[in-house]
Chain A
Amino acid sequence: DAGVIQSPRHEVTEMGQEVTLRCKPISGHNSLFWYRQTMMRGLELLIYFNNNVPIDDSGMPEDRFSAKMPNASFSTLKIQPSEPRDSAVYFCASSLDSYTGELFFGEGSRLTVL
């Protein structure tokens, strides 16, 4: 079985540009999570979907960030406009059902905003 697939793996962009990160969860998993990892703050939960519905988006930093899950096999995290402080590794993770079990992380998307 393929794991969680994220793209792009690396993204370098200039301040003000729009960034879209993509995630394909493991087939059959009902929950999907977007995390951001930085040295200063560690792993932060941005948003959590269950059955394609956003359950908790309290971690989304500001209106520049948005996330969608149009179907069970695809999610996007968009930053518009991007800023240098958004530079981080963004992980997508999926699980069978919420936090009752293991989170399977993708390999991450490393974003650098110049």
Chain B
Amino acid sequence: QQPVQSPQAVILREGEDAVINCSSSKALYSVHWYRQKHGEAPVFLMILLKGGEQKGHEKISASFNEKKQQSSLYLTASQLSYSGTYFCGTEPPITQGGSEKLVFGKGMKLTVNP
């Protein structure tokens, strides 16, 4: 099942913060985050594997609440280079009948203006 991302689009000024949410109706084994700039390929940001785990990548961090089947991506003090579409991908546990398949959400378009 495709995860749901919210909000669908955000416009920020440089230096502002943003939170991108990703939720699934099914149990999750992992959550993957990618960023895609216009006309380019998606680029890996991070993978979260355990409940409550938090990871960081420069000023971008994420959390994963396994019980709530949710993940959030935090963009702190956004830069112009953060503009793009952010995708979360969710992977169900194989033991729960999952097919070891990474399913991406529809993405959240972030625009950072000067």
Q: Which of A21-29, A65-73, A76-84, A94-102 contacts B (4 or more CB under 8 A)?
A: A94-102
Q: Which of B19-27, B40-48, B67-75 contacts A (4 or more CB under 8 A)?
A: B40-48
State A64–B104 Cα separation when bound (angstroms).
24
Q: Which residue of chain A has its CB nearest to the CB of B40?
A: A107
Interface size on A, residues (CB 8 A): 21
Given A58-B99, A99-B91, A101-B47, are A43 and B104 also a contact pair (CB < 8 Å)?
yes
Task: Scan A35-76; emit 1 where CB is below 8 A from any B CB, else 0.
Answer: 100000111110010000001101000000000000000000
Q: Are B102 and A106 in contact (CB under 8 A)?
A: no
State A91–B42 Cα separation when bound (angstroms).
9
Q: Are B2 and A42 in contact (CB under 8 A)?
A: yes
Q: Are B44 and A106 in contact (CB under 8 A)?
A: no
Chain B residues with CB under 8 Å of A104's CB are 44
- Whether, in the assembled complex, B17 has its beta carbon less than 8 Å from a beta carbon of chain A, the answer is no
Chain B residues within 8 Å of A, Cβ to Cβ: 2, 30, 32, 34, 40-44, 47, 87, 91, 99-107
Chain A residues within 8 Å of B, Cβ to Cβ: 35, 41-45, 48, 55-56, 58, 91, 98-99, 101-108
